[in-house]
Amino acid sequence: MEMNRRALLLTSAALAANVVAPEAAFAQEQPRRGGIMTVHFPTEQRILNPSLQASTGVYIVGGKIQEPLVDLDAAGNPAPCLAESWEATPDGKTITFKLRQGVTWHDGRPFTSADVQFTAMEMWKKILNYGTTLQLFLEAVDTPDAHTAIFRYSRPMPLNLLLRALPDLGYVSAKHIYEGTDIRQNPANTAPMGTGPFRFVQYERGQFIIADRNPNYWRNNMPYLDRVVWRVVSDRSAAAAQMESGQLLFSPFSALSIADFTRLGRDPRFEVTTRGNEGNARTNTLEFNFRNPILADIRVRRAIAHALDIPFFIENFLGPFAKVGTGPIPTTSPDFYPANMPQYPFNRAQANRMLDEAGHRRGAGGVRFNLRLNPAPWGEDIALWSTFIQQSLNEVGIRVEIVRLDAAGFLRTVYNDWNFDLATGWHQYRNDPAVSTTVWYRSGQPRGAPWTNQWGWTDAETDQVIDAAATELDTARRKALYADFVRRANTELPLWMPIEQIFVSVINRRLRNHSNTPRWASSSWHDLWLAS
């Protein structure tokens, strides 16, 4: 009963927030049972279990089969899922979760605190990416009874940080499936078993994954759908055609081309939106290698930032789904977003002046110096952005050579071999700066760890602010510390994050109750239904 009321509130909140959206017209519609949801699955994954790998490619499948302790509600606040309630001791070192009773795994065994203990200690702490850092100081999980899990930390863990991280990093796996096995090789990694609304049925490599309705789901009478089918479609244009022919009903996480977003957005059969992905914000980066003495000069880095006309680029290349970024914390994170931080608006004359001042006079052909730029191979926007950087910097006398590599080559060359001058890719913001943002700036990252500070830049004061914020329990003080962090990051400019984007969903309008939480594409879809 409790849950139904919450689900209802959640839905009405989502509807209220989108009065102009056509969904409002269906507010009185009775959810229809049955139907098959077909989802675009662009790249195959080695693992489908979200307790072992935190990435959108895993959530889009595993997130329907397994569930986290905590989820996000429509407003983006932590909401109960497998955990019903939580509390922390004042010293922040003990956090107690009361678990939901009467929940069973898909094989019929009961879900208990032992599962939480096993998953936290063996998976989140040891294997799960971002989890290993988050749970670094987790010492033990006590289980006084079957429905209580007490997390004990050796250093204070801000409850808010944990609750915001758990929707992504808190998926629970069954102890009885994994205990005593080699976790990395367990067959359940590609045939996941969970407590979620859909039960895994079949994974045919290169073709499809199928999951069927779980008739014993703990949310009464849910889910509405009979079956979810993920279809592997690697070609963007082919996926757009399958959306149009109705073979696919949903394409998540910006997996179509920018031109198709615009085209399908005008088609009344589809909704093209960033709604439901607010929890998956990313910024486009411009990374500097300080081992190149030219770039170690802050005047050069600032001049480069000033040389880029971001509003022009966004308007002409990215369209309505991107906006000007202001630094490492995006505007989608009101709990931490600091206003009025140092910025670098487009000013070509100033860029030229700063480069002159730095002693880089124009030589033959108006060229000051040459740089190599390594763009990450994911995302059409990065390819466009790297060409735009090349042409913009050419205008101020910096000749840029673009070095394109595939994913493995890019990571190795930039983050392990440090063989680059400029690099550009995405920084993924995961609801709290401590999860995956501050690592881009904190010194002392192991060599080869991608998307971390591999620039050869060390700033003791920045390190101090980052460390203090990670264990600060007071919410207001924590926000102030992160404002300090952004101010320092934007002043010293070891890397620049001038564009902010949210993933784009393309959704067939037959779907109802979609995009109703900030991480809807990753979430369980228990209340999703399909109009006839």
Distance of CA 281 to the CA centre of its chain: 6
Q: Is 325 exposed, middle or buried (0-12, 13-18, 19+ CB in 10 A)?
A: buried
For position 444 contacting other proteins by CB under 8 A, the verdict is no
User: Which one of 240-248, 258-266, 390-398, 455-463 is the stretch in contact with other proteins (CB under 8 A)?
Assistant: 240-248
Contact with other proteins (CB under 8 A) among 189, 274, 292, 490: 189
Per DSSP, helices labelled H in 96-182 are 113-118, 131-134, 159-169, 175-178
Return the number of the residue (127 or 146) whose C-beta is nearest other proteins.
Answer: 127
- Would you state the torsion angle of the CA atoms of residues 514, 518, 521, 522, taken in this order, to the nearest 10 degrees? -140
What is the residue-wise DSSP string for 460-491?
A: HHHHHHHHHHHH---HHHHHHHHHHHHHHHHH
CB nearer other proteins, residue 99 or residue 439: 439
Minimum distance of other proteins from residue 188's CB (angstroms): 11
Determine if 411 is a binding residue for other proteins (CB under 8 A). Answer: yes
One DSSP character per residue, 337-390 reads: PPSS-------HHHHHHHHHHTT----GGG--EEEEEEE-SS-HHHHHHHHHHH
135 binding other proteins? (CB under 8 A): no
Kindly state the smallest distance separating residue 447's Cβ from other proteins, in Å.
Answer: 8
Q: Is the separation of the CB atoms in 326 and 499 below 8 Å?
A: no
For residues 287 to 326, the per-residue mask of contacts with other proteins, x marking binding by CB under 8 A and - elsewhere, is ----------------------------------------
Smallest distance from other proteins to CB 189, Å: 7
Residues 497 and 324 sit within 8 Å (Cβ to Cβ): no
Q: Does 467 bind other proteins (CB under 8 A)?
A: no
Q: Which residues pair with 288 in a beta bridge?
A: 422
Q: Which of 12, 85, 181, 234 binds other proteins (CB under 8 A)?
A: 234
**Interacting span for other proteins (CB under 8 A) from 63-71, 237-245, 355-363, 521-529:** 237-245
The nearer residue to other proteins, 53 or 274, going by C-beta atoms, is: 53
Q: Of these, 18, 96, 104, 132, which contacts other proteins (CB under 8 A)?
A: 132
Q: Under 8 Å CB-to-CB from 203, ≥6 apart: which residues? A: 48, 190, 191, 209, 210
Say whether residue 242 binds other proteins (CB under 8 A): yes
Segment contacting other proteins (CB under 8 A): 97-105, 335-343, 407-415, 523-531?
407-415
245 contacts other proteins (rule: CB under 8 A): yes
4-33 core/surface letters (b: 16 or more CB in 10 A; e: else): eeebeebbeebbeeeeeeebeeeeeeebee
203 versus 344: smaller Cβ distance to other proteins:
203
Interface positions, 374-393, toward other proteins (CB under 8 A): 378
User: What are the residues whose beta carbons fall under 8 Å from the beta carbon of 251, sequence distance 6 or more?
Assistant: 39, 40, 239, 240, 243, 505, 506
Long-range contacts, stretch 441-449, CB < 8 angstroms, 24+ apart: 441/328, 441/466, 441/485, 441/489, 441/494, 442/466, 442/467, 447/416, 448/415, 448/416, 449/415
Task: Check residue 407 for interaction with other proteins (CB under 8 A).
Answer: yes
Shortest distance, CB of residue 237 to other proteins, whole angstroms? 5
477 binds other proteins (CB under 8 A): no
CB of 439 to other proteins, least distance (A): 8
Q: Does 413 bind other proteins (CB under 8 A)?
A: yes
Among 16, 17, 24, 449, binds other proteins (CB under 8 A): 449
Shortest Å distance, C-beta 374 to other proteins? 11
Region binding other proteins by CB under 8 A among candidate stretches 199-207, 283-291, 471-479, 493-501: 199-207
Which of 60, 20, 210, 52 lies closest to 126 in space, CA to CA? 52
Options 145, 315, 406, 474; binder of other proteins; rule CB under 8 A:
406
Applying CB under 8 A, among 12, 154, 207, 343 the residue interacting with other proteins is 207
454 binds other proteins (CB under 8 A): no
Give the one residue of 137, 208, 346, 369 binding other proteins; rule: CB under 8 A. Answer: 208
User: Residues near 215 by Cβ (< 8 Å), separated by ≥ 6?
Assistant: none
CB 31 within 8 A of CB 513: yes
Q: Is 343 in the site for other proteins (CB under 8 A)?
A: no
Per CB under 8 A, does 405 bind other proteins? yes
Closest CA to 261 of 239, 246, 235, 282: 239
Beta-strand (E) ranges in 244-368?
250-251, 270-273, 281-288, 322-324
49, 51, 56, 505: which one binds other proteins (CB under 8 A):
56
Positions in 7-36 near other proteins (CB under 8 A): 36
Q: Which is nearer to other proteins, 79 or 241 (by Cβ)?
A: 241
Angle between the N-to-C axes of helices 258-265 and 236-244, in degrees from 0 to 180, rounded to the nearest 10: 10
Q: Which residues bind other proteins (CB under 8 A)?
A: 36, 38, 43-46, 53-57, 127, 129-133, 184-185, 189-190, 204-208, 210, 227, 229, 231-235, 237-238, 241-242, 244-245, 247, 378, 405-413, 416-417, 428, 436, 446-452
